[in-house]
């Protein structure tokens, strides 16, 4: 009768998993080693580090700007103004914006939100009038 293999041993809390070594990155053409195949010089390495730092700094600045609440508020206000303008053009016979799917979607969302608010207001007015006509007793 074949026996099943023993269950795997449990690791103690003191044992640590050894992380796998990081994968080696490919160096893009024009960076790192010189085209001749020789190792880069100290000056070349320092220049590459400075370029990388500048790129990283620019990326961080761009992300910081994109994620700031002030920028997000300005962007939302600008989008809402454009959508209101496009909705006004649609209602006056100008049609939907052509060529920019986002603007057309924003017009539809804005008009839908206005329709929902109008429906809620009408419903409240009707319910209020019906309730006012009923005698309370």
| pLDDT tens digits, 11-33 | 555 555 556 666 665 655 555 55
Outline where 37-100 has alpha helix (H).
Answer: 42-67, 69-91
**Closest to 115 measured CA to CA, from 125, 103, 126, 107:** 107
| Domains identified in the chain, total number | 1
Is residue 59 predicted with pLDDT exceeding 90? yes
pLDDT, tens digit, for every residue of 30-50? 555 556 678 889 999 999 999
Rounded to two decimals, the pTM is 0.44
Residue 25 within a domain: no
Residue 30 within a domain: no
Is residue 73 predicted with pLDDT exceeding 80? yes
Contacts of 110 (CB under 8 A, 6+ apart): 80, 83, 84, 87
Cβ-based burial of 32 (10 A; exposed 0-12, middle 13-18, buried ≥19): middle
Residue 33 within a domain: no
Q: Give the mean model confidence (pLDDT) for residues 108-122.
A: 93
So what's the pLDDT on residue 113?
92
Residue 51 within a domain: yes
- For residue 137, how many C-alpha atoms fall within 13 Å in the half-sphere facing its CB? 3
Q: Give the mean model confidence (pLDDT) for residues 98-113.
A: 87
Quickly tell me which residue has 């052509």 as its tokens.
Answer: 98
Domain limits for position 74: 42-133
Whole-number percent of the chain with pLDDT over 70:
72
């Amino acid at each position: 009768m074949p026996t099943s293999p023993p269950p795997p041993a449990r690791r103690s809390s003191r044992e640590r998993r050894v992380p796998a070594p990081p994968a080696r990155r490919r160096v893009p053409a024009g960076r790192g080693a010189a085209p001749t195949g020789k190792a880069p010089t100290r000056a070349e390495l320092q220049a590459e580090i400075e370029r990388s730092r500048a790129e990283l700094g620019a990326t961080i600045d761009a992300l910081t700007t994109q994620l700031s609440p002030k920028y997000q508020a300005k962007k939302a206000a600008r989008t809402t103004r454009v959508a209101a303008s496009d909705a006004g053009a649609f209602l006056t016979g100008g049609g939907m914006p052509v060529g920019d799917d986002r603007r057309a979607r924003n017009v539809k969302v804005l008009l839908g939100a206005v329709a929902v608010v109008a429906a809620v207001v009408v419903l409240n007015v009707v319910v209020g009038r019906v309730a006012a006509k009923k005698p309370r007793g």
